[in-house]
Amino acid sequence: MTSLRDFQTRIDEIQQRERDALRQKAHSATEQGKEKDQGKRKTAASKSASSKVAPVDESKDAKSPEILETLEVSDVDEQLQTLLLSQTPTDFDRVRDMLASLLTRHRGEYILRIGAHPPHATLFSGEAFAESDQWRGTARTVQELQTLQDEVNRAVDELGGKTTVLFETTPDHPRATLLLRLPPADVSLTPEVRCAVIGNVDSGKSTTLGVLTRGALDDGRGRARVSLFRHKHEVESGRTSSVGMEILGFGPSGVPILPSTAHSTDLDVIRREKMGWEQISIQAAKIVSFIDLAGHERYLKTTLYGLTSGAPSCVILIVGANAGLIGMSKEHLAIALALSVPVVVCITKIDMTPPNVLAQTITQLTKILKSPGCRKTPVFVKSIETAVELSQVFAKERLCPTFQLSNVTGEGLDFLRTFLNLLPASESDSEKFAADQPLEYSITEIWSVPYVGTVVDGILNSGTIKAGDAILLGPDANGNYQTTAVKSIQRKRAPVTSAEAGQCVSLALKRVRKSAVRKGMVIVHKTETPPRAVRRFEGQVLILYHNTTLQQNYQAMLHCGAVRQTVRIIAMDHPQGILRTGDRATVTFEFIAHPEYIKEGMKLLFREGKTKGLGVITRLL
């Protein structure tokens, strides 16, 4: 486990180095372009820029919106409260400008904390609050708390937004947490959070998603999951076999958008009467997309593809309280950890599980999460306040939010909904998605739509795209790219005119046959020099498990982003020329079928039977 931890640190270093190199390259290209276009005006422009920046740096007036860049979140909250309590019109105008700046910079959403809040360590441990704790923020009276809420509500109203009280308490330590949200102008600007749902067979994945997205509680016999199944054999067996996608929309006030038949008990009505994605998208101020992955071992290849190609912000691991962390749950958890995706655990079926069995499941789960291989600290969510604070920090601090749910009684579902509603948008992750880089769009699904033609679905890894753009599609079996254009764009089945890095959109392509497109292809802007397709590459790998030895010419299925293809090992730098479980080496791979578009710094997973390997691409050959 120590070698895995060291290797993951090494992978992170390589990925960061590649990101920095890309940014530097883009920056230098931009500078060269400016020199050509502006010539002698470059010096004047730099002087002008420095003169604009200087007043902000020298200014001691922390009330201006520009200074918000350098302030901590807690400092901003404190400053807003101080200005609002002054009760002067000029200060109120400043607050309104600051809130407008905050909401713009945080994609139309901001969490404002009023009063003194307990430290995270005490809150997440579940211990009773003590006076000796170092509380965050300034203590407020009940009267001040109410005044501040009213003033914030008035300021946000003037901006056209909504204020929702997420949490409020008045006895010992009066405090409140408010959600400030601006409705997006159109679907193209709606923040989206992508969550992959994994777990063992019969752990309750589809039932939990059915309850979250349809609103009706389960009857204990599978009523909630019926609406999610796409194939006849899934309805008959009760098992998901394909990568499904479900969405849950939250309105400006944070209320989930559910169909009008949410509380129906008729199975036919539940399956037939469901809201279309476009209906949800138009109403939603935030969308949570669930990638519903198969739990059965037979469909592990499909599950792996969903995890690597979907670029999820977090993984929701569903664990049945009556069975514990068994079978494929451990395999799925290991894959999520290998890909460094934050993990959220939902323990389901707590209504039907005896207390002693539930206690055993919690003990087992805690032990596994705290083990050297996981290094996660489980935090059991038993209050709205904990759910709110965890949603903002769990990914950075190696915390694992753990919810105990009953899809029959509804226990714990409010905590989970609050948590999902506040998760940061996937496209806001500037480390993964760079809007200032050239266009790169990975294809994950292909359809042929009557009267439309070939439609592809995928994720924009970088750049922006607009309807009508001339693009290159490839690489094909020979490593070449073909020229085409974007006819139209849809996001969550609602038409949009453009999309930006981090968003998942569908593109209708001009004059392209479905047979000419495959998963793993990329779309880039039309240029004279298309990106190079690679047949061979080098990668640093760690063998997680193999029952004998790996040698030259060994073949395995490789997953790297949206690419899924068989590769062959043609060389390795190991002294003995063989690899065993736990070995690290630099390995040269070769794609068997056709060249692919890959980049240095991309993570790779390969498997064949029970053999598993983890790595990162270090050099293209």
Q: How does pLDDT run across 186-228, given as a tens digit for each residue?
A: 899 999 999 999 988 888 888 898 889 888 787 776 666 666 6
Residue 55 has pLDDT above 60, yes or no: no
**What integer pLDDT is reported at residue 225 of this predicted model?**
66
Residue 362 has pLDDT above 70, yes or no: yes
Does the CA dihedral 218-222-223-227 come out positive or negative? positive
CA 35, CA 277: separation in Å to the nearest integer? 47
User: Average of pLDDT values for 1-16?
Assistant: 71
Give, in degrees to the nearest 5, the angle at Cα 278 between 495 and 261: 170
Q: Write the pLDDT tens digit of every residue in 382-406.
A: 999 999 999 999 988 889 999 999 9
User: Average of pLDDT values for 312-320?
Assistant: 93
Residue 481 has pLDDT above 60, yes or no: yes
Model confidence band, residue 528 (pLDDT cutoffs 50, 70, 90): confident
Residue 1 has pLDDT above 70, yes or no: no
Q: Are residues 550 and 615 in contact, defined by beta-carbon separation less than 8 angstroms?
A: no
Give me the residues paired with residue 500 across strands: 464
Q: Write the pLDDT tens digit of every residue in 405-417.
A: 999 899 999 999 9
Query: Tell me, what DSSP letter sits at residue 263?
Result: T
Mean of per-residue pLDDT scores for the chain: 84
Residue bearing the bigger pLDDT, 209 or 37: 209
Amino acid identity, position 429 = D
User: Average of pLDDT values for 300-314?
Assistant: 86
* Cβ partners under 8 Å of residue 260, min gap 6: 273
Residue 470 has pLDDT above 90, yes or no: yes
Model confidence band, residue 3 (pLDDT cutoffs 50, 70, 90): low
Query: Tell me, what DSSP letter sits at residue 402?
Result: E
Q: Write the pLDDT tens digit of every residue in 130-155.
A: 766 788 888 899 999 999 999 999 99
Contacts within 8 Å (CB) and 24+ apart, 85-92 = 85/144, 85/147, 85/148, 92/151, 92/155
* Cβ partners under 8 Å of residue 158, min gap 6: 96
3-state secondary structure of 433: coil
Residue bearing the bigger pLDDT, 369 or 373: 369
Residue 42 has pLDDT above 50, yes or no: no
**What integer pLDDT is reported at residue 57 of this predicted model?**
37
**What integer pLDDT is reported at residue 330 of this predicted model?**
85
Answer whether CATH 2.40.30.10 is correct for domain 440-525: yes
Model confidence band, residue 34 (pLDDT cutoffs 50, 70, 90): low
Q: Are residues 570 and 588 in contact, defined by beta-carbon separation less than 8 angstroms?
A: yes
CA 407, CA 411: separation in Å to the nearest integer? 7
Query: Tell me, what DSSP letter sits at residue 434?
Result: B
**What integer pLDDT is reported at residue 26 of this predicted model?**
65
Residue 118 has pLDDT above 70, yes or no: yes
Residues found in the chain: 621
Amino acid identity, position 3 = S
Residue 108 has pLDDT above 80, yes or no: yes
Please choose, from the candidates 125, 73, 106, the residue with its C-alpha nearest in 3D space to the C-alpha of residue 423: 106
The CATH 3.40.50.300 domain(s) of the chain lie at 187-428
Residue 52 has pLDDT above 50, yes or no: no
Residue 352 has pLDDT above 70, yes or no: yes
In the numeric block, which tokens belong to residue 166? 């997420």
**What integer pLDDT is reported at residue 273 of this predicted model?**
59
Model confidence band, residue 231 (pLDDT cutoffs 50, 70, 90): very low
Model confidence band, residue 517 (pLDDT cutoffs 50, 70, 90): very high
User: Average of pLDDT values for 507-512?
Assistant: 95
Q: What percent of the chain shows pLDDT beyond 70?
A: 84
**What integer pLDDT is reported at residue 241 of this predicted model?**
46
Q: Are residues 521 and 443 in contact, defined by beta-carbon separation less than 8 angstroms?
A: yes
User: Average of pLDDT values for 307-328?
Assistant: 90
User: Average of pLDDT values for 539-560?
Assistant: 91
The CATH 2.40.30.10 domain(s) of the chain lie at 440-525, 533-620
Model confidence band, residue 328 (pLDDT cutoffs 50, 70, 90): confident
CA 342, CA 194: separation in Å to the nearest integer? 12
* Cβ partners under 8 Å of residue 420, min gap 6: 193, 195, 212, 248, 250, 288
Residue keyed to tokens 């709205």: 384
Model confidence band, residue 504 (pLDDT cutoffs 50, 70, 90): very high
Residue 246, sorted as left (phi over 0), alpha (psi -120 to 50) or beta, turns out to be beta
Range with the poorest average pLDDT among 106-110, 461-465, 569-573, 611-615: 611-615
User: Average of pLDDT values for 5-18?
Assistant: 75
Answer whether CATH 3.40.50.300 is correct for domain 187-428: yes
**What integer pLDDT is reported at residue 233 of this predicted model?**
45
CA distances from 59 to 52, 54, 289 (A): 12, 8, 43
Residue 65 has pLDDT above 90, yes or no: no
Q: Are residues 307 and 294 in contact, defined by beta-carbon separation less than 8 angstroms?
A: no
Q: Are strands 494-496 and 498-500 parallel, antiparallel or unpaired?
A: unpaired
Please choose, from the candidates 283, 260, 274, 279, the residue with its C-alpha nearest in 3D space to the C-alpha of residue 225: 274
Please list, residue by residue across 174-199, b when 16 or more beta carbons sit within 10 angstroms of its beta carbon and e when fewer do: bbbbbbbbbbbeebbbbbbbbbbbbb
Q: State the CATH architecture for 533-620.
A: Beta Barrel (2.40)
Residue 232 has pLDDT above 50, yes or no: no
Residue 620 has pLDDT above 70, yes or no: yes
